[in-house]
Every structure is written in C-alpha cells, then in structure tokens.
C-alpha cells in the first residue's frame, strides 16, 4: 500500500475511532479528532520528505482495478503541485480543529457528527488531489459536497440551510457538465485507444477541435464554479456568511483550490488546444474577477462577506496566472493557491474569534479593537497585510510571479491586474481602520484577547505567512518541475526577453 | 361493399367512447364507454384482418376481449366497493390521489 | 566588486530588535527604547566602518555585494536576496542610520509620557531595517520589499495614535497613495523582466543599450510614477500633509529626511535608464518643477507648523527630482541636496517637535510668537536650519540648491529658462514661507494660550537638534569642497564625465541671482509679519491664499476624480451583484419553482381530465408519427 493511500485512510480511521467514545464525552471526541488530524499532518510531512523533487511524473503511485467493465481504476499518485496542496490541507485541518474548539457544540447534530464529517472531508481532500484516474477524481469531487453541505447546513449560522442548498446546487450544476464531458471523453477514448479513465493515457488522445472545445467547457465550467470565477461566484459569499469559520477555512482554503487545481491538472493537460482557444475569454473573466471582487469587498459590511470577495479577487489572480501559460504564471498560481489558503485561513479564524466575542459579524460593530485586544488585532492586521500582498509576506511572491508571468505574454492584462493592488490596499485598510482603529466602540470594552489555545492554533499559519514570504524556495522547488511538465505537454514555452543580446 | 365504412364506424364508436369517458361522471357509464372504445378497436382489428386476408387482427381482437373481460371483473368490483363506501358512483368524488 | 559577509547585519539587527520588542510586549516597556536606540547606533557604526573600508579600496573594488540566498527562481525569473553597497547606497546608509539614531535618542524623551513608547521604537526599528533594505537591495525586487516595508512602517507610525479617527484616515491615505505609486514600481519590474530577462540593477543596466526607445520610456515613466508616490510628488502628493498626524520624530525621520527621498534614490539608481531616454527625463523635470512650485505655494499659507514644513519638504524634493532629470551631474546634485536637506529639515522638524513639546502639543503658529526667549536652543538650531534651507551662504542649502538652479539653467534654450526660472521662483517663495514660519514662531510678541508655559526641552532632545544643525551648517561646504560628493558618486552616476556645453549664465551670476531672490522673499515676509499677527486666521484673504490653504485643491480634485466615482462604482456594483448576477441565479430557481407549481395544477385528481390528457397525448403521438412518415 502506498503512503498516499495510508494518508487517505488515516482520517477515516480517526473517524471510526470516534464511535468508540460515548457521545457525552465531547472532550475525548475533540481530542481524538485533533489527534488524528495531527498524525495525518505528520505522515504528510513524512511523505513530503520522501518526495523526490527532480523526478518527473507521479510518485507514490498505487493502482487497482475498481470498475473493470469501464476501465475505472483506483489510481492515485502525486506530483509537486498535488503535494503542496495536500500539505496545505493536512495542516489546515488540525489548525481549524484547534482554532474552533467549541464550534461543534450548538449545531443541529452532535459534536461527534461534526468531527466525523470533518475527518471524512479531509480524506476526500487528500484523495481529490491524489487521484490520477479522472473518474475517481470526479467521484471524490462530487462526494466532497456532502460533508460540506452538512457542515454548513448543520453547524452554520443565519440562513444556513439556504446557503448550504445554494452551494450544493451550484456545485452539482458544474459537476453535471463535467460528468457529461467525462462520458464523452470515455466514449472517444474507447474508439481510439480503448476505454480508460487514466489521466496520462487520456492526455494523448486526438480530439477534433469542436469536441475538444466542448469537453474543455464541461470541465472548465465545473472548475470555474468551484474556484469561483465571475459571474459564477454568488454562492461563495452566501456560504461564507453562513458557514462556521472552520468550514469557511476548509471551503475557501482547500475546496475552492480543487477548481484551480483541476484547471491545471485536467483542462491544460487533457485539452491544451482548447485551453489556448479560450485563453482570451478566461483572461478577461479573471480580470473582471480581480477588480469586481475587490470593489465588492470594499462595499461589504459583513466581515465574512468581505473575506469571500477578497478571495474572488485572488482567484482571479490564480486563473490569470494559470492561463498566462508561462512558467512564472503557472508556478506563481500554484504557489498562490497555497499562500491564499494560509492567508484566508488566518483571516477567517481571526474574524471568527472577533465575531464570536462581539456577537456580530458587521464590520461597523467592531472598532478600537487594537486597544482592547492587541494580539487579536495584530493577527488580523497581519492576515490583512498578506491579503493585500505586502512584500515580505508569502502572498506577495505568488502575486508578483503571476503578474510577471502574465506580463511577458499579455502585458495589457497584467497592467489591468496590477491596478488591483491599490484596491486590495483599500479593502484591507478600510476594514482595519473600521475594526481595529478609532475609539473603542461601546460594548467592546470588555472583549477578551486571544487565549493560549487560539494563539497556538494561529501560530503555524502566521509563521508560514512570514517564512514563505522571505524564503519560498522550498515550496517553489517542489512546484517547478510539475509546472514545467504541464507547460511542455501543453506545448508552451516562456517568451524570450525582447531586448536580447 | 366499401371496407372503409367499417373503419368510419369504428372511429365514430371510439370517439363516442372517448368523449363519454371524459365528460360522464357516473363510474358505470364511464366503464361502459371504455368497453365501447375497446369494441371499436376490435371492429377495426377485424376489418383490417379482412382487408389483409390474414388472421392476425382476429387473434388480436380475441386478446382484447379477454383483457376486457378481466377488466370488467376488477373494474366492477372497484366500482361496487366505492359505491358501498361512499354511496356514490361519481368518479369526481374519487379524487383522493391528488393529495 | 568586493564580496562582503556582514552587510546583512545592517538590516537583520534592527529587524530582529523590532520583532523582539513587538513580541515581548509589556515586558519590554522599561528598557525597549534603549535596545532600539542601541541597535540603531550599532547600525550607524557598521555603516561608518563600511564607509571607511570603502574609502580604503579603489575603483571597482569599492562596491561590495553579499548574496544571502536564492529568493525566487521560476523558469528564467531568478532573483537572489542580495545586498549591494556602493558609493550611492553608503550615502543613504549613513544618512538613515545617523539621522535615525539621533531621532531615536530624541524620541526617548519626546515619547516618554506615551504608554506605547516601546511599540513606537519597535516601529522605528522596523523602519530603519526596511529603509536599509531599500537602499541596499541589489535588484528592483529586493528594493521593492524595502519600498513597501517603509510604506508599512510609515503607515504604522502615521497611525500611531489611531484612536483618533482622523489619524487613522491619514495613515490609510498615505498607504493607498503609495500603492498607486507601487503600481509603477511593479510594472517597471515587469517591463524590466520582459525586456531584459533580469530585474537586478546590473542586468537591467547591461540590457539598456539593446532596448527600444518605447520600452525605455515606459520603464522610465513607471519608475517616475513609483517615485511620485513615495516622494509625494505631483500628482500623488496629497498624502504628505496629512501624514503629519504621526509623532513629530516620525515626521522628521520618515517624512522629511529619509523615506520620502526614496523616489530620488530610485531615479538615481536607475540613472542608466533615464540617461537612455530623453522623454522620460522630460517627464521627470516636469514633475519636479511642478512640485517644487506647488509645495512652496502651499507652504506660504499653512498655519500648522508641521504642515508648513511638510509642504516645504515636498517642494525641496521637487528640487531633487528636477535635478535627477537633468542628466549625470544632476544626480550628484540631487543626492547632495538630499543629504543637506536631511540635516536641515530633520533639525527643523525636531525643533518643531521641541516647540510642540513645550506648548502642550499646539501646532498653530498663530498661537506661538516670541518663543526664542523661552527656548533659546531650539530657536538657535531651528534658525540654523532655516538659514540653510533658504540658501544663505555658507550654510548647507546654499551649495546644494544653488547647484540645482545652475544646472537647470544649463539645460539650455527655452527649457533652461523655464526650469531655471521655476527653480529661482521656488527659491524666492521658499525664503518667504520659511521666514514666515521663523518669525511667527520665534520672534514678535507672544500669542500663547493662557495655560501654555513654554520651556526648553530636555537635553536628550536638544543634543540631537544641535548635532543636526551642525550638519546643516557644515555639510554643504564639505560635500562641495573639491567636488567631493560629485567625484565620490561618479562611478555610479557618471557625473565626472559631464561637461556643460550650453551655459546660459555664469555660475556666479546664478548664485547672485539666487541670493537676490532669497533676500527679496525673506524681506517681503519680514515686512509682512513683523507687525501683529492675528491669533485666528483671517477669513478675508485673497483667492490665492484660500487656494493655498486648501492645498490648491488637491484633495478636492482627488475626491472629484477618484474617491466619489469609486464610491459610486462600488455601490453600483454591490447592487448589481445582488440584483443582476445573483438575481439571475435566483431567477432561475424561481422559474423552476413557478413551472412546477403551475404544472402541479394538472394533477387535479379527476379521472376524466387524466383521460382527456391521455387522449390528447395519444393524438399528439399519432399526429407526430403521421407528420414524420408523411
């Protein structure tokens, strides 16, 4: 059994372990869940250490026949892109468990259900990045909706049921288009090379341009819903406003990355020509997302809505980088996925603590927090700075790589995208000004600062935000060979310097 | 004799039956109209059997008769039960499936 | 090129101390400021030792490089975290750490009553680290990190008393205006990479001869945009006045002596780009000339002593920017003015802080007057700074400003007359408003509030002021004797090979002219403000004064062009998102629901209607078959 499969099974084992504890013993349930999250993270680090950076192709491969009549296999393997995203997922799960220690109580169902859902979700998050059989990917891609649906609908706040339904319907709509394209792909493959869902085999398929375009759209729309690209984004703010902070972190930090990951892994690999055809459209949509998300973020009154719209803006940067088709753009976009995961996690967790203490998510209800709760205010400020991509913090490296990569091929798009940095400064600093600065708003005088548990939970995220800003090389080195392979397969090479000697 | 006259008769009978089914409310009458439609079909079968000189149509009409007989057994039983339980044979009173 | 192993300490020490003070929290309240000051002094000593080591080397060996680690490497985009100390950056290192240390010392006393003094010193150290990174980075991307780092420190320090909403707004405004400039720097780096495949100074310099004119002009224009943001130049100047919300030592260090001059550093560092692009140079001199007049005019009407000094800073940096647009010799003069300005402006800002310290934080000069008796040392140091800035020989400003005016005239032709004229006019206005500031504050009759008891500041505050005013007296002469600074900088900016070909006027004529306009400006101010000054600013003033009080409408213009349309757009987009985009989605959901409700009506439970529908269905089926087979 490959280490990858072991990694996928670990959270499931933890979930089973939860049944051994009586339901009243909430503390034991939390500890077991957190423990299995930490063990999973430790194993994923072990896997990262054993990962060989300079090997091309997938590693830790495991392949078994699953539904043999359709050539469907249980087939997993990772390259550098998948590796860093899996590490992101396995780190964020224990972090959010610790950060929102009491979130599971007061939901519609028991704490045990909450942690089972979360651990099952973790298994799927690992699986979705590890799957190299397109059908297996699709199954996990869709199955992931179920735990998230229950996490939002059962443990969220406000109109949680409606938000969960909206999220589910949006995603199912995209998923159906992908299924249609998937079946089409299988049928085409059956005619040419025999029925298979193996990614590597399928990537050598000869498609005529119309079918390729249609299949591409099927996959792309599914991913554009996930990674919300304008105008398919409206489920995200609704979901973020209703979900618990922990769910929001996993939803925006990891699940939405499946969309952008899918664009690289499937759209570019399976349909390179169609990707090229649709590049102008996607770049325009990305630019709209960047600016639109930023403007909407400025106009938000709800702090979770704000974070959701900043994410839409950042996803615009990620898709821009992916479809710029340069090595800087692709590597930058992948790095952006990781960095955005951490920076959104920090934002959502701190915003969650702030709202839980204040009993409100309205930005205007805060005010003067810097004086009352300095540590919490600092954490929010740092997370905000990383959201506006301050040099020295991790997001800067990725955002700049995306822009540089875009500029070498599409200068105008890069120029428009760059104006987003001013808007980013506005939405972050306006919020900082309203929430942290100014005189203390009445009712906030007695808010408590972060406790030890919360400090421990946020520490790894904040440390990584700073560390990866100054020294991103370890992550970039994992990503580079994989993106180079994607570029080579899609038939793209970097533009040369114009003033060459 | 022109064979199309039989078909016209069959069509007229079928239409009368169909209209009866849709506009009458008494279950017995509706039932009889259904029988009328079945018999109109039988007539058409037999006519075509004659026209083509094969026995297929006649065989089919026998099947129809058997089915009609079965239907009468079940249908009448239902109507009687309905009448017993609610003292009415109007089909409009039996609209409980809506809910 | 020498390789060095200890440049990194210049940055690491203050960065570490800043992080330490922030992380330790209240524990460090008692001794935090001493640590910060000691660290700053240590960096100054390192800088000094580097300077003497550099002087002992010759030629190309003078510049030293330290490569720390591979920072970003993707495809051909390879950037090292590397530091470069050459003749240009050592000037800045000494200015930043020297003035920085003095201001640290000053702040120990100035901030002694503030409960957050430790945090203040942490921010100051953070600033020193970022500013050193800015001037030491060996590539545009490394510089960018420092560039935004000083922006962050400036944001934190302007908003240091952010409980006051106006101060929090000022901090945000400064950061956002700077970010507009940062678009320029970002794009400049992108252009550099797309053109030359490199973002290091060396790589770009090597590629310049091969690049097209258009590319170089674009590159120059973007660098200029970056400089206008950071250095508060037209049209991004509006943040500097509001930035005076920060504690006065901050205004002295960041918003007068060092950070705001980063734009001048950037242009000087990029001299090879501007040398190759005349169009970009024209843009630079236009921006410089406009700003030097703009700032000077605004300065004439300000009653807030810090805002008057801020307007003056803007104007003086206008001079520097103007100089950088004038070719190789101009860079050297720009740096010379930058250094002398660092001394005299910091000295005056600290003087202003000292006055505020003694006057219960009053900033309105109309409520000062006759302070020279109450605070003689402050008056003396401020006075020396004042003489230096208006350009009275032999004080520092005379040498540096005079050179710029002279070079402007030497640009030749109509351009020379225009630029030289603007610079001369600026000098006259400078003399006017600075005389006004000095008279209003230190001479005449006292117009103090009743509870004001002005007193001289403690020695921790006046010693730095004295040191700086010595600099304002002597630095110009030192830099100019034997063309010391021009020759020192020559390897970086090529200033030694410069020969002025089209001299409009002899240097001595220019000097006399400059001196004449200074006497005119100062004399006019003396006549105007010698008599009684009303405590409340008069309302009935000329249109010109009104406009200058409103900063010549810079905020109104920004409001009209950017803020209001931006807000309207945001509101409109929020509505669009709710109604149009999400509305479409909700509309589809509503449609599905509507359709199912209406088709539910068919299921009425009546057997006869089912039969009718069945019949119609059969009919439709037959009709279809009939049509198809027809």
pLDDT tens digits, residue range A184-214? Answer: 988 888 888 888 888 888 888 888 888 899 9
Residues A80-99 pLDDT 10s: 899 999 999 999 999 999 98
B22–C603: do the CB atoms touch at under 8 Å?
no
Nearest residue, CB atoms, B95 vs list C605, C611, C612: C605
The SS3 assignment for A61 reads strand
**pLDDT-derived band at C63, boundaries 50, 70, 90:** confident
Tell me the two tokens of residue A28. 């034991």
Q: How far apart, in Å, are the Cα atoms of A34 and each of A94, A105, A127, A388, A410? A: 6, 16, 20, 31, 46
Residues C64-112 pLDDT 10s: 889 888 898 888 888 999 999 988 999 999 999 999 999 999 999 888 8
Residues of C in contact with A500 (CB under 8 A): 197, 210
Contact present, C332 and C301 (Cβ < 8 Å): no
Question: Can you give the pLDDT at residue A106?
Answer: 76
Residues A173-189 pLDDT 10s: 899 999 999 999 888 88
**Percent of chain C clearing pLDDT 70 (strictly above):** 99
Answer whether B94 touches C (CB < 8 Å): yes
Q: Does residue C53 carry a pLDDT above 70?
A: yes
Residues of C in contact with B95 (CB under 8 A): 604-607
Answer whether C115 touches A (CB < 8 Å): no
Mean per-residue pLDDT, B78-95: 82
Interface probe, candidates B22, B26, B28, B89, chain C, greatest C C-beta count within 10 A? B22
Nearest residue, CB atoms, C608 vs list B21, B96, B97: B21
Residues A51-73 pLDDT 10s: 888 877 888 888 888 888 888 88
C312 versus A497: the higher-pLDDT residue is C312
Q: Which residues of C475-494 are buried (b: 16+ CB within 10 A; e: fewer)?
A: bbbebbeeeebbebbbbbbb
Interface probe, candidates B14, B15, B21, chain C, greatest C C-beta count within 10 A? B21
Question: Can you give the pLDDT at residue A500?
Answer: 61
Check whether the bond before A344 is cis (ω within 30° of 0).
Answer: no
Residues of C in contact with B30 (CB under 8 A): 607-608
Mean per-residue pLDDT, C358-363: 82
Mean per-residue pLDDT, C227-231: 91
A414–C149: do the CB atoms touch at under 8 Å?
no
Nearest residue, CB atoms, B95 vs list C604, C612, C615: C604
Would strands A59-67 and A72-78 be described as parallel, antiparallel, or unpaired?
antiparallel
B97–C611: do the CB atoms touch at under 8 Å?
no
Q: Which residues contact C177 (CB under 8 A, 6 or more apart)?
A: C229, C236, C238, C239
B30–C608: do the CB atoms touch at under 8 Å?
yes
Which residue of chain A is at minimal alpha-carbon distance from C141? A391
**Average pLDDT over all residues of chain A:** 89
What residues does A437 pair with on adjacent strands?
none
Contact present, A152 and A167 (Cβ < 8 Å): yes
C608 versus A483: the higher-pLDDT residue is A483
Question: Can you give the pLDDT at residue A497?
Answer: 82
Question: Can you give the pLDDT at residue A294?
Answer: 92
Interface probe, candidates A391, A435, A474, A476, chain C, greatest C C-beta count within 10 A? A391
Q: Which of C371, C448, C104, C430 is nearest to C249 (CA)?
A: C104
Answer whether A426 touches C (CB < 8 Å): yes
**Percent of chain C clearing pLDDT 90 (strictly above):** 28
Question: Can you give the pLDDT at residue C507?
Answer: 78
A421–C183: do the CB atoms touch at under 8 Å?
yes
Residues of C in contact with B21 (CB under 8 A): 608, 611, 615
Question: Can you give the pLDDT at residue B97?
Answer: 61
DSSP A265: I
Residues C479-536 pLDDT 10s: 888 788 888 888 888 776 655 555 667 778 888 888 888 888 888 888 888 877 777 7
| First-to-last C-alpha distance (Å) of chain C | 93
Contact present, C498 and C327 (Cβ < 8 Å): yes
Mean per-residue pLDDT, A277-292: 93
Q: Does residue A359 carry a pLDDT above 70?
A: yes
What residues does A282 pair with on adjacent strands?
none
B21–C606: do the CB atoms touch at under 8 Å?
no
Tell me the two tokens of residue A151. 């996490």
Rounded Cα distance between C100 and C98, Å, is 5
Contact present, C309 and C302 (Cβ < 8 Å): no
Contact present, A126 and A90 (Cβ < 8 Å): yes
Interface probe, candidates C601, C602, C605, chain B, greatest B C-beta count within 10 A? C605
C609–B92: do the CB atoms touch at under 8 Å?
no
Question: Can you give the pLDDT at residue C611?
Answer: 84
Residues of C in contact with B97 (CB under 8 A): 605
Which stretches of chain C sit within 8 Å of chain B by CB? 603-609, 611-612, 615
Answer whether A404 touches C (CB < 8 Å): yes
Size of interface B-C (CB pairs under 8 A): 32
Q: How far apart, in Å, are the Cα atoms of C480 and each of C89, C198, C399, C402? A: 19, 36, 7, 11
Q: Does residue A121 carry a pLDDT above 90?
A: yes
Q: Residues of B numbered 30-59 whose beta carbons fall under 8 angstroms of chain C's beta carbons: which are they?
A: 30
Global pTM reads: 0.88
**pLDDT-derived band at C356, boundaries 50, 70, 90:** confident
Question: Can you give the pLDDT at residue B66?
Answer: 94
Mean per-residue pLDDT, A248-258: 91
Question: Can you give the pLDDT at residue A285?
Answer: 94
Mean per-residue pLDDT, A271-276: 89
Residues A405-445 pLDDT 10s: 999 999 999 999 999 999 999 999 999 988 888 888 888 88
Would strands C77-85 and C64-74 be described as parallel, antiparallel, or unpaired?
antiparallel
Mean per-residue pLDDT, C325-332: 86
Q: Does residue A466 carry a pLDDT above 60?
A: yes
Q: What is the distance in angstroms between the Cα of C600 and the nearest Cα belonging to chain B?
A: 9
Beta-carbon neighbour count of residue A27 at 10 Å?
A: 11
Contact present, C37 and C101 (Cβ < 8 Å): yes
A408–C194: do the CB atoms touch at under 8 Å?
yes
Contact present, C286 and C415 (Cβ < 8 Å): no
Residue with the two structure tokens 């002094």: C41
B92–C615: do the CB atoms touch at under 8 Å?
no
The SS3 assignment for C197 reads coil
Answer whether C569 touches A (CB < 8 Å): yes
Mean per-residue pLDDT, A337-361: 90
Q: Does residue A233 carry a pLDDT above 80?
A: yes
Residues of B in contact with C612 (CB under 8 A): 22
DSSP A348-403: HHHHHHHHHHHT--BGGG---HHHH-HHHHHHHHHHHHHHTT-BTBHHHHHHHHHH
Mean per-residue pLDDT, C165-179: 90
Question: Can you give the pLDDT at residue B96?
Answer: 67
Tell me the two tokens of residue C350. 């600290």
Question: Can you give the pLDDT at residue C126?
Answer: 93
Size of interface A-C (CB pairs under 8 A): 172
Contact present, A443 and A360 (Cβ < 8 Å): no
Q: Does residue B99 carry a pLDDT above 70?
A: no
Tell me the two tokens of residue C72. 């970003």
**pLDDT-derived band at C55, boundaries 50, 70, 90:** confident
C606–B91: do the CB atoms touch at under 8 Å?
yes
C486 versus C183: the higher-pLDDT residue is C183
Q: What is the CA radius of gyration of chain A?
A: 22
Q: Residues of A numbered 332-351 whose beta carbons fall under 8 angstroms of chain C's beta carbons: which are they?
A: 332
**pLDDT-derived band at C303, boundaries 50, 70, 90:** confident
Tell me the two tokens of residue C238. 């509006």
Q: Residue length, chain A?
A: 501
Q: How far apart, in Å, are the Cα atoms of C7 and each of A165, C82, C399? A: 58, 10, 32
C608–B94: do the CB atoms touch at under 8 Å?
no
Contact present, C502 and C388 (Cβ < 8 Å): no
The SS3 assignment for A100 reads coil
Beta-carbon neighbour count of residue A470 at 10 Å?
A: 17
Rounded Cα distance between A36 and A390, Å, is 35
Tell me the two tokens of residue C295. 């700032």
DSSP C361-426: T--BGGG---HHHH-HHHHHHHHHHHHHHHT-TTSHHHHHHHHHHHHHHHT-HHHHHHHHHHHHHH
Residue with the two structure tokens 């030629």: C59
Rounded Cα distance between C426 and C420, Å, is 10
What residues does C69 pair with on adjacent strands?
C81
Residue with the two structure tokens 């570029």: A487
Interchain touch B–A (≥3 Cβ pairs closer than 8 Å):
no
Residues of C in contact with A299 (CB under 8 A): 570-571, 573-574
Question: Can you give the pLDDT at residue C504?
Answer: 65
Secondary structure of C88-144 as H, E, C letters:
HHHHHHHHHHHHHHHHHHHHHHHCCCCCCHHHHHHHHHHHHHHHHHHHHECEHHHHH
Answer whether B96 touches C (CB < 8 Å): yes
A240 versus A56: the higher-pLDDT residue is A240
Mean per-residue pLDDT, B56-70: 92
Chains that touch B (3 or more CB pairs under 8 A): C
Residues of C in contact with A494 (CB under 8 A): 75-76
Residues of A in contact with C171 (CB under 8 A): 429, 433, 437
Rounded Cα distance between A123 and A111, Å, is 19
Answer whether A328 touches C (CB < 8 Å): yes
CATH class of B4-87: mainly alpha
Mean per-residue pLDDT, C25-30: 84
Would strands C2-3 and C64-74 be described as parallel, antiparallel, or unpaired?
parallel
B21–C603: do the CB atoms touch at under 8 Å?
no
C606–B92: do the CB atoms touch at under 8 Å?
yes
Question: Can you give the pLDDT at residue C30?
Answer: 86
């Amino acid at each position: 059994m490959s280490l990858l499969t072991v990694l996928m099974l670990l959270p499931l084992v933890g979930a089973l372990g939860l049944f051994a504890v009586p339901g009243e013993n909430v503390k034991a349930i939390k500890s077991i869940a957190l423990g299995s999250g930490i063990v999973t993270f430790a194993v994923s680090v072990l896997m990262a250490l054993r990962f060989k950076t300079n090997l091309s192709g997938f590693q830790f491969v495991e392949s078994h026949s699953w539904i043999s009549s359709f050539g469907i296999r249980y087939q997993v393997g990772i390259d550098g892109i998948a590796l860093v995203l899996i590490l992101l997922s396995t780190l964020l799960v224990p972090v959010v468990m610790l950060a929102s220690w009491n979130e599971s109580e007061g939901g519609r169902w028991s704490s045990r259900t909450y942690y089972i859902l979360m651990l099952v979700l973790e298994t799927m998050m690992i699986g979705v990045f590890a799957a190299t059989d397109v059908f297996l990917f699709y199954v996990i891609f869709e199955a992931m909706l179920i735990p998230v649906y229950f996490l939002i609908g059962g443990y969220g706040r406000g109109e949680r049921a409606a938000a969960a339904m909206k999220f589910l319907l949006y995603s199912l709509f995209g998923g159906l288009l992908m299924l249609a394209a998937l079946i089409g792909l299988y049928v085409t493959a059956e005619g040419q090379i025999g029925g298979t869902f193996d990614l590597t085999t399928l990537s050598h398929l000869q498609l005529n341009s119309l079918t390729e375009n249609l299949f591409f759209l099927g996959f792309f729309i599914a991913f554009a819903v996930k990674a919300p690209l304008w105008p398919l984004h409206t489920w995200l703010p609704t979901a973020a406003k209703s979900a618990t902070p922990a769910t929001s972190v996993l939803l925006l930090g990891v699940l939405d990355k499946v969309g952008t990951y899918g664009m690289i892994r499937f759209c570019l690999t399976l349909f390179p020509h169609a990707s090229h055809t649709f590049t102008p459209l996607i770049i325009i949509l990305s630019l709209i997302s960047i600016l639109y998300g930023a403007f909407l973020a400025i106009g938000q009154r709800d702090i979770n809505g704000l974070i959701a719209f900043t994410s839409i803006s950042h996803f615009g940067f990620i898709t821009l980088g992916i479809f710029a088709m340069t090595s800087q753009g692709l590597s930058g976009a992948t790095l952006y996925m990781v960095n955005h995961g951490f920076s959104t996690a920090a934002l959502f967790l701190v915003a969650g603590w702030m709202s839980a203490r204040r009993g409100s998510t309205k930005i205007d209800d805060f005010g003067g927090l810097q004086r009352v709760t300095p540590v919490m205010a600092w954490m929010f400020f740092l997370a905000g700075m990383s959201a506006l991509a301050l040099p020295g913090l991790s997001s800067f490296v990725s955002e700049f790589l995306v822009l540089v990569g875009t500029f070498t091929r599409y200068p105008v798009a890069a120029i428009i995208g760059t104006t987003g940095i001013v808007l980013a400064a506005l939405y972050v600093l306006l919020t900082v000004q309203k929430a942290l600065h100014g005189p203390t708003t009445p009712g906030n005088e007695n808010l408590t600062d972060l406790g030890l548990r919360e400090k421990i939970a946020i520490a790894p995220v904040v440390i990584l935000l700073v560390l990866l800003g100054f020294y991103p090389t370890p992550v970039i080195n994992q990503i580079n060979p994989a993106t180079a392979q994607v570029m080579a397969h899609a038939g793209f090479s970097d533009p040369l310097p114009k003033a060459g000697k | 004799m022109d064979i199309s006259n039989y078909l016209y008769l069959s069509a007229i009978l079928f239409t009368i039956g169909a209209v009866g089914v849709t506009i009458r409310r008494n279950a017995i009458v509706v039932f009889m109209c259904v029988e009328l439609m079945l018999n109109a079909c039988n007539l058409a079968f037999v006519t075509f059997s004659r026209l083509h000189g094969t026995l297929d149509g006649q065989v089919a009409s026998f099947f129809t008769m058997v089915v009609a007989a079965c239907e009468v057994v079940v249908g009448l039983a239902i109507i009687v039960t309905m009448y017993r339980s609610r003292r009415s044979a109007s089909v409009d009173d039996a609209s409980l499936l809506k809910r | 090129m020498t390789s060095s192993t200890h440049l990194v300490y210049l940055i690491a020490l203050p960065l570490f101390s800043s992080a330490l003070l922030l992380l330790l929290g209240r524990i460090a309240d008692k001794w935090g400021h001493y640590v910060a000051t000691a660290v700053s002094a240590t960096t100054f000593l390192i800088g000094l030792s580097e300077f003497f080591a550099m002087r002992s080397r010759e030629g190309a060996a003078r510049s030293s490089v330290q490569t720390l680690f591979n920072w970003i490497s993707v495809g051909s985009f390879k950037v090292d975290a590397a530091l470069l100390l050459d003749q240009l950056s050592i000037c800045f290192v000494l200015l930043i750490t020297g003035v920085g240390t003095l201001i640290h010392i000053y702040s120990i006393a100035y901030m002694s009553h503030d409960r957050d003094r430790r945090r203040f010193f942490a921010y100051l150290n953070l600033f020193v680290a970022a500013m050193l990174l800015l001037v030491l980075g060996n590539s545009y991307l490394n510089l960018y990190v420092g560039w935004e780092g000083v922006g962050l420190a400036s944001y934190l320090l302007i908003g240091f008393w952010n409980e006051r909403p106006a101060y929090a707004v000022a901090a945000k405004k400064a950061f956002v205006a700077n970010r507009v400039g940062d678009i320029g720097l970002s794009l400049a780096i992108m252009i550099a990479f797309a053109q030359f495949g490199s973002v290091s100074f060396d790589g770009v310099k090597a590629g310049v001869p091969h690049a097209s004119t258009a590319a170089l002009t674009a590159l120059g224009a973007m660098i200029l945009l970056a400089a206008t943001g950071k250095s508060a130049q037209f049209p991004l100047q509006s943040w500097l006045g509001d930035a005076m919300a920060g504690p006065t030592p901050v205004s002295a260090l960041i918003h007068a002596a060092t950070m705001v001059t980063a734009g001048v550093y950037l242009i000087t560092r990029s001299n090879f780009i501007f040398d190759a692009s005349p169009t970009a140079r024209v843009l630079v001199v236009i921006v410089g000339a406009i700003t030097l007049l703009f700032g000077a005019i605004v300065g004439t009407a300000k009653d807030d002593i810090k805002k008057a000094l801020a307007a003056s800073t803007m104007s003086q940096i206008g001079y520097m920017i103007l100089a950088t647009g004038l070719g190789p010799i101009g860079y050297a003069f720009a740096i010379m003015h930058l250094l002398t300005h660092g001394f005299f402006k910091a000295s005056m800002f600290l003087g202003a802080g000292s006055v505020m310290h003694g006057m219960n934080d009053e900033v309105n000069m109309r409520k000062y007057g006759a302070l020279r008796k109450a605070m003689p040392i402050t008056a003396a140091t401020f006075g020396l700074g004042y003489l230096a800035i208006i350009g009275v020989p032999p004080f520092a400003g005379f040498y540096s400003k005079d050179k710029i005016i002279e070079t402007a005239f030497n640009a030749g032709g109509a351009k020379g007359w225009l630029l030289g004229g603007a610079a001369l006019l600026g000098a006259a206005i400078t003399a006017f408003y600075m005389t006004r500031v000095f008279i209003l504050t230190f001479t005449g009759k006292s117009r103090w509030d009743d509870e004001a008891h002005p007193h001289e500041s403690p020695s921790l505050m006046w010693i730095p002021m004295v040191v700086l005013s010595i600099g304002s007296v002597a630095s110009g002469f030192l830099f100019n004797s034997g063309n010391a600074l021009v020759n020192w900088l020559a390897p970086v900016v090529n200033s030694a090979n410069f020969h002025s070909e089209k001299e409009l006027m002899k240097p001595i004529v220019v000097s006399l002219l400059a001196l004449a306009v200074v006497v005119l400006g100062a004399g006019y101010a003396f006549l105007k403000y010698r008599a009684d000054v009303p405590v409340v600013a008069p309302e009935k003033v000329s249109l010109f004064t009104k406009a200058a009080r409103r900063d010549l409408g810079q905020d109104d213009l920004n409001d009209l062009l950017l803020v209001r349309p931006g807000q309207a757009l945001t509101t409109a987009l929020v509505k669009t998102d709710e109604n149009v985009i999400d509305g479409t989605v909700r509309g589809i959901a509503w449609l599905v629901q509507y359709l199912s409700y209406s088709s539910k009506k068919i299921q009425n439970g009546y057997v006869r209607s089912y039969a009718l529908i069945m019949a119609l269905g059969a009919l439709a089926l037959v009709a279809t078959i009939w049509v198809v087979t027809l």
